[in-house]
């Protein structure tokens, strides 16, 4: 049973990461196809996983508690029907797949799934690089609505995600995992995967993703001593780094984009005079209405026009900050519950940071959480899906490590 669920989960991740599922212009009973497909598939996987007889774990209990606290926002919701739909979507597109991953995860499966994620990330990155250099993406013909998401003058690529920032956030999640497999391998393909992923991340021109990647890599290198490995793999870095620099030497659009995106005035405006900066004031206005339980999950766009302040963009009904959106929609109670969940879980991961997979997962998740200050990433399918599936597999990995008798008792406890 677990093997079948694992294979189905691999296939589902392949579909979610390498197809523009959210942009497929098909509806059934006036409901977007991807909602029906994901809801049915994840529900089936979750039910099948529960039939394996595995007892509830601390992770599954925490996930259910988190969902319950978020559900309290329906009490003060400005649109209860929309909140109910959003909570169901948040569960099926995120928390539920995390539970599935935790149910089926073993040490071998966790590592093999991480390798598969790197493969999908490299394939997605390769498609993005083709799009960037040759202005061609096959999905623009299959899902025309995706091409319409391109912002005029915005450098970067859409790949299968639809925007450079969530694309970059997904790559930040898997970048440390890819690096871990690269520096511990003699296979050229692992190096090539890392080059594709890091190149696509750089050429996404997502500044928040650049910063998040630096944070993720800093955490990764601080957790383990890779100095000796880097010395042995110096040829890899000599090979990889020039490939990252070449586009800025020979490709004029890349040179122009890097100048535009790193301009000091543009950076200042982004931090202090932008839509994102003004969203802090908008959030404060919303909290005056309902600070305890929020306005209900999914309802920020519904009150945006009422509470938005000068400087916010009237075209985008979002704070472009997941923490501000959680605070607005679930109030102080929901936000504190989410932060408590993160602190508890990351503290557990920290105990087992000596394990290379845990170190890579911890690093990628940390970088992603930094990037959530620049986008509502829990409302975008691929980043949300990947984040929770990585959290789920980290839970499975922790369970195995905690029962490994070869590990010192001090670490197992």
Instruction: Kindly state the average pLDDT of the residues 73-79.
Output: 95
**Which residues are CB-neighbours of 95 under 8 A, at least 6 positions away?**
63, 66, 67, 388
**How sure is the predictor about 272, in pLDDT bands with cuts at 50, 70 and 90?**
low
Query: Is the pLDDT confidence value at 240 over 80?
Result: no
Instruction: Kindly state the average pLDDT of the residues 265-285.
Output: 77
pLDDT of residue 261: 75
**Pick the residue with more confidence: 168 or 152?**
168
pLDDT of residue 225: 63
**How sure is the predictor about 314, in pLDDT bands with cuts at 50, 70 and 90?**
low
Query: Is the pLDDT confidence value at 310 over 90?
Result: no
Q: Which of 115, 57, 95, 112 is nearest to 398 (CA)?
A: 57
pLDDT of residue 309: 78
pLDDT of residue 125: 95
Query: Using CA of residue 326, residue 332, residue 334, residue 338, what is the dihedral sign?
Result: positive
The overall average pLDDT reported for the chain is: 86
**How sure is the predictor about 51, in pLDDT bands with cuts at 50, 70 and 90?**
confident
pLDDT of residue 226: 57
Query: Is the pLDDT confidence value at 171 over 90?
Result: yes
Q: Could you report the per-residue pLDDT of 7-27, keeping only the tens digit for each? A: 999 999 999 999 998 888 888
Among the residue ranges 54-68, 217-231, 315-329, the one predicted with the least confidence is 217-231
Instruction: Give residue 355's region: left, alpha or beta (phi > 0; psi -120 to 50).
Output: beta
Instruction: Kindly state the average pLDDT of the residues 44-50.
Output: 89
**Pick the residue with more confidence: 371 or 247?**
371
Q: Pick from 39-53, 148-162, 211-225, 328-342 the range whose average pLDDT is largest.
A: 328-342
Helix (DSSP H) and strand (DSSP E) numbers for the chain: 21, 2
pLDDT of residue 404: 65
pLDDT of residue 243: 61
Half-sphere exposure of 190 (CA within 13 A, CB side): 16
Query: Is the pLDDT confidence value at 360 over 70?
Result: yes
Query: Is the pLDDT confidence value at 232 over 90?
Result: no
Instruction: Kindly state the average pLDDT of the residues 395-412.
Output: 68
**Pick the residue with more confidence: 245 or 296?**
296
The structure's pTM equals: 0.92
Q: Could you report the per-residue pLDDT of 390-403, keeping only the tens digit for each? A: 999 999 999 888 77
Query: Is the pLDDT confidence value at 58 over 90?
Result: no
Query: Is the pLDDT confidence value at 43 over 70?
Result: yes
Among the residue ranges 29-38, 169-178, 254-263, 351-360, the one predicted with the least confidence is 254-263
pLDDT of residue 413: 41
pLDDT of residue 410: 44
Query: Is the pLDDT confidence value at 409 over 50?
Result: no
What b/e sequence results for 235-260 when a residue is b if at least 16 CB atoms lie within 10 Å of its CB, and e otherwise? ebeeebeeeeeebbeeeeebeebbee
Query: Is the pLDDT confidence value at 279 over 60?
Result: yes
Give the C-alpha separation, 381 to 316, whole Å: 18
- The pairing of strands 27-28 and 31-32 is antiparallel
Instruction: Kindly state the average pLDDT of the residues 100-126.
Output: 91
Query: Is the pLDDT confidence value at 144 over 90?
Result: no
């Amino acid at each position: 049973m677990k093997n079948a669920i694992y294979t189905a989960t691999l296939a589902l991740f392949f579909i979610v990461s390498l197809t523009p599922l959210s942009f497929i212009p098909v509806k059934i009973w006036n409901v977007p196809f991807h909602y029906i497909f994901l809801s049915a598939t994840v529900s089936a996987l979750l039910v099948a996983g529960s039939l394996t007889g595995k007892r509830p774990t601390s992770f599954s209990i925490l996930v259910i508690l988190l969902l319950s606290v978020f559900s309290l926002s329906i009490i003060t919701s400005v649109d209860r029907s929309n909140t109910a739909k959003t909570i169901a979507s948040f569960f099926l597109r995120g928390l539920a797949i995390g539970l599935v991953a935790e149910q089926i995860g073993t040490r071998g499966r966790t590592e093999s799934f991480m390798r598969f994620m790197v493969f999908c990330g490299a394939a997605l990155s390769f498609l993005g690089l083709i799009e960037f250099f040759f202005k061609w993406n096959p999905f623009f013909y299959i899902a025309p609505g995706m091409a319409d998401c391109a912002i005029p003058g915005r450098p970067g690529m859409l790949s299968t995600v639809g925007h450079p920032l969530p694309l970059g956030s997904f790559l930040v999640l898997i970048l440390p995992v890819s690096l871990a497999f690269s520096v511990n391998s003699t296979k050229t393909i692992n190096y090539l995967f890392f080059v594709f992923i890091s190149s696509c991340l750089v050429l996404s021109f997502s500044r928040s993703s650049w910063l998040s990647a630096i944070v993720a890599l800093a955490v990764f290198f601080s957790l383990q001593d890779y100095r000796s490995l880097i010395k042995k793999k110096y040829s890899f870095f000599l090979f990889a780094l020039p490939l990252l620099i070449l586009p800025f030497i020979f490709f004029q659009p890349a040179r122009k984009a890097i100048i535009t995106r790193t301009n000091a005035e543009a950076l200042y405006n982004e931090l202090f005079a932008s839509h994102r900066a003004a969203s802090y004031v908008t959030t404060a206005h919303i909290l005056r209405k309902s600070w305890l339980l929020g306005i209900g999950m999914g309802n920020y766009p519904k009150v945006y026009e009422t509470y938005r302040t000068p400087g916010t963009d009237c075209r985008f009904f979002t704070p472009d900050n997941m923490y501000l959106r959680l605070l607005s929609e679930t109030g102080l109670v929901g936000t504190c519950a989410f932060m408590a969940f993160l602190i508890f879980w990351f503290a557990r991961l920290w105990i087992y940071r000596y394990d290379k997979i845990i170190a890579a997962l911890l690093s990628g998740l940390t970088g992603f959480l930094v990037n959530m200050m620049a986008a509502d990433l829990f409302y975008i399918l691929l980043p949300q899906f990947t984040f929770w599936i990585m959290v789920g597999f980290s839970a499975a990995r922790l369970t195995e490590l905690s029962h490994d008798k070869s590990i010192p008792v001090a670490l197992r406890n």
